[in-house]
A = this chain, B = another copy of it.
Amino acid sequence: MSTTVVLLSDTNPAGVIADASAPLINIEDQGLTRGDGVFETMLAVNRSVRKIDAHLTRLAGSARLLELPMPSEKQWQDAIATALKEAEVGARTPLGEEHTVKLIISRGTVEEGPHSWVTVAPSSAKVLSQREEGVKAMLLPRGHDPAEDSAYPWLLAGAKTLSYAVNMSVLRYVKSRGADDAIWVTDERRILEGATSSVIVAKTVNGVKTLYTPEPSHGILPGTTQGTIFNGARENGWELGFGPLYPQDLLEADGVWLASSVRLLAPVTHLNGTKIAVDADTTYELLGYLANN
């Protein structure tokens, strides 16, 4: 399974196809030495990227916070088209042919400056199976409430940066304990977000079906998938709620999901080892809201 790489270029509007099996990055690139860059991960179905506007908007916001130059929408679109055309056959799923598409802007070397690229690869089997089979999640403290960071722009709250060491670390931690994914909580046990996803909770109260997610404007990353699902749900008669949510809310829910762009909706089957309700009908319904976006 190989990755297709297209480097953005000011002189070549369609981007430049590069050989991903050869080294492409300078060892002093500050994306590498300092995690100094931003990214988006997107899903392409039948070689068409889902909800690209939401991703480009969020990428522009991340780039602004890091003072990185954002290529134009047309540059991204053209490079993505080049990469998707060139990519090897994707994963076959009920949705169609699936690829994972990444956009990256790195600070580059001090001499050369920032640069941007697109990678495309078939979506991984593990991500696709978690969509079907769900995930065992653990609740783990984030150490602090990220809302505390959101007042200070230099802390980059809400930017999706290459500095993801802690997100990767918590995934190693839960896997070493037999789980698949992590849900961050504050020290007061308020639910925040998944390691690389948003948390969505469904609950029917007095006959009113309601979809909840933690308040997205306070230091946690606004989820493009969660946002699209909530838009569809609102149009289809759901009430929407924005937390605060606590572990008890998840344990008593009709269903809990981790929402992200490539995995889409992973039903949470266990929380800290305890089996929780899984609602296959609602999974199907919510996936429908993502179908045309």
A residues with a Cβ closer than 8 A to B are: 3, 5, 18, 20, 22-37, 39, 65-67, 102, 104, 106-107, 117, 119, 140-145, 148-149, 151-157, 159, 161-170, 172-173, 182, 187
B153 touches A173 (CB 8 A): yes
Q: How far is the CB of A250 from chain B (nearest CB, A)?
A: 20
Residues of B within 8 A of A35 (CB): 34-35, 161-165
Closest partner residue, chain B, to A106 (CB atom): B32
Closest chain-B Cβ to A122's Cβ sits at a distance in Å of 14
Q: Using CB atoms, name the residue of chain B closest to A5.
A: B27
Nearest 5 CB-CB pairings of A with B: A35-B35, A163-B163, A144-B144, A143-B149, A163-B165
- Please report the C-alpha to C-alpha distance between residue A129 and residue B177 in the assembled complex, in whole angstroms: 50
**When the two chains form their complex, are residues B165 and A66 in contact, meaning their CB atoms are under 8 A apart?**
yes
- Kindly list chain B residues whose C-beta atoms are within 8 Å of the C-beta of A142: 155
Contact B33 A27 (CB under 8 A): no
Minimal beta-carbon separation of A125 from chain B (angstroms): 13
Q: List 10 A-B contacts (CB under 8 A).
A: A24-B25, A27-B119, A33-B39, A33-B102, A66-B169, A140-B152, A154-B172, A156-B166, A161-B163, A163-B163
